[in-house]
Amino acid sequence: MRKDKEIAFDMRRNGKSYNEIHAALKIPKATLSDWFSKIDWSNAMAKKLAAAVQKQHIVRLIELDKIRGTHLKRAYEEAREEARNDFLELKHNPLFIAGLMLYWGEGDKSQVRNGVRLANTDPQLIKLYVFFLTHACRIPIDRIRAHILVYPDLNKERCVRYWAEASGLPVSNFTKCTQIIGRHKTKRLLWGVCLVAVSSTYFKEKVLEWLKIFPGELMNEGYYESI
């Protein structure tokens, strides 16, 4: 009889999620994470797994953001549960860790469920953050919006084109610019401030849950033994 570990690896190669493998074999997700993190998956296999995860996430992102009223509490609980499961799969991904660090330092961490928002003046930081959203979190690019804060003497169209090129987002993803008045008369930002947002209360709940797990996981000595 084949061992559960062999079956688990076959299921993973066929694109099955941690939840599906756990449901079939009753193997703890933490154990699955430990097993799979030590395997150097081929590029083709990694893309297949990522595509399967992306499809699941897009469907849930759209469906659960539509929930209102009495079912909202359950949706938030599902978001937190999904976040914990995702963390097991993603915690060894350097892009995921880098993106969480960026959001921890620069993102909107308020409990107000107004979506996931991060603003900064550094084009490289914004580019990396957008890459984190699209590749680690599997957020469809058409769900990402950007907004520019500009000084009165800046050309709004040029600023939008600059940030579109810098971030990798289409110009059509940018909403209207907001004019700001700086406190200092001479120290001005050449291209304003870029704010990147994903309008999803479900995703916001997941990000907040990741940030809750994140510090303790990084300071867990067992984490370093597995990477």
In a domain, 8, yes or no: no
Instruction: Name the DSSP letter for residue 147.
Output: E
Closest to 95 measured CA to CA, from 43, 119, 131: 131
Q: What is the mean pLDDT of residues 138-166?
A: 92
The answer to whether residue 61 scores a pLDDT higher than 90 is: no
Predicted local distance difference test score (pLDDT) of residue 5: 80
Lowest-confidence segment of 54-63, 65-74, 144-153, 182-191 by average pLDDT: 54-63
- Number of structural domains in the chain: 1
In a domain, 19, yes or no: no
Query: 106 or 16: which carries more pLDDT confidence?
Result: 106
In a domain, 21, yes or no: no
Query: 68 or 191: which carries more pLDDT confidence?
Result: 191
In a domain, 13, yes or no: no
- pLDDT tens digits, one per residue of 98-151: 999 999 999 999 876 678 999 999 999 999 999 999 998 889 899 999 999 988
- pLDDT tens digits, one per residue of 175-216: 989 888 765 555 567 899 999 999 888 899 999 999 999 888
Residues spanned by the domain of 144: 40-225
pLDDT band at residue 219, thresholds of 50, 70 and 90? confident
- pLDDT tens digits, one per residue of 19-39: 778 778 777 766 777 777 666
In a domain, 167, yes or no: yes
| Bridge partners, 148 (sequence order) | 194
In a domain, 29, yes or no: no
Instruction: Name the DSSP letter for residue 143.
Output: G
Q: What burial letters (b/e) apply to 167-185, b meaning 16+ CB within 10 Å?
A: bebeeebbeebeeeeeeee
In a domain, 33, yes or no: no
Contacts 24+ apart (CB under 8 A), 9-15: 9/35, 9/36, 9/39, 12/36, 12/49, 13/45, 15/48, 15/49, 15/51, 15/52
In a domain, 14, yes or no: no
Residues 6+ apart with CB under 8 A from 67: 74, 75
